[in-house]
Structure 1
């Protein structure tokens, strides 16, 4: 595995361990992080602060569990393509979702400089909608 692919594998391991500091250390100061608009808090975030202090906390606040599980790493030099799946459970629900993803990372000088996410957000949105429906029923 190339050093760039190893960096990305280490990033997934740190994310799984909820090791924010290690994740941040693998990223460039001006990282560009782009996720699908159908994701909670989806959009483009620039800079470590925007990614780790805004995007991740707000996105993850929707879930009891959220896992990004890499399955295959494709090495294209500075670009590393990862296929895998998201699995999780939204808050106030037992409706588990699974959604396949493709992540494209750009790594320069051993730092992640860009992240692009491609996923079908429907199963995630359906799971979140189920959680909101259950929450509203509970309030009645």
Structure 2
């Protein structure tokens, strides 16, 4: 379990330049990544390329200063939960937001097989209007 916690912590410590190589190393080939309904990148994506295109690229290009700040990590066997705060400014409206999030990660043999996002999407949607 300790190693699973360290694997997940490495994601949140990574810079924007480091995140893709780290994810390439720790994500299972057919990882299932679910962004919450109501979040701008909402949906389920399979594999690193789909995640890069539909999540990370969009967050980097549609938001200024988008930030994921992890506050708490909890581990139990093959699952790790992370709680924190998202923030950023919409490039479309110029409005800033902060919203709490939870991420639930599932690992097998030290590879992420599933990630599910839970977020206060009302705060994000308000920044888009």
> Fold conserved (TM > 0.5)?
yes
Aligned-pair distance for 1:41? 2.4
Which sections of structure 2, spanning at least 5 residues, go unmatched?
none
Cα RMSD (Å) of the superposition? Answer: 1.6
In 2: Cα distance, 1:127 partner to 1:54 partner: 20
Aligned-pair distance for 1:110? 1.2
The list of structure 1 runs, each at least 4 consecutive aligned residues, that deviate by more than 3 angstroms after superposition, is: none
Please tell me whether residue 99 in structure 1 is matched to residue 96 in structure 2: no
Structure (1 or 2) with the larger CA radius of gyration: 1
Aligned-pair distance for 1:30? 0.6
How many positions carry a matched residue from both structures? 128
- The match for 1:42 is 42
Return the TM-score normalized by structure 2: 0.90
- The match for 2:53 is 53
The structure, 1 or 2, with the larger RCO (C-alpha pairs under 8 Å, 6+ apart) is: 2
Return the TM-score normalized by structure 1: 0.84
In 2: Cα distance, 1:12 partner to 1:103 partner: 11
Larger % of strand: which? 2
- The match for 1:18 is 17
Aligned-pair distance for 1:24? 2.1
Which sections of structure 1, spanning at least 5 residues, go unmatched?
130-140
The CA deviation string for residues 28-87 of structure 1, in whole angstroms up to 9 with x for no partner, is 111100011211121100111111233321343210111111100011110001111101
In 2: Cα distance, 1:5 partner to 1:60 partner: 26
- The match for 1:78 is 78
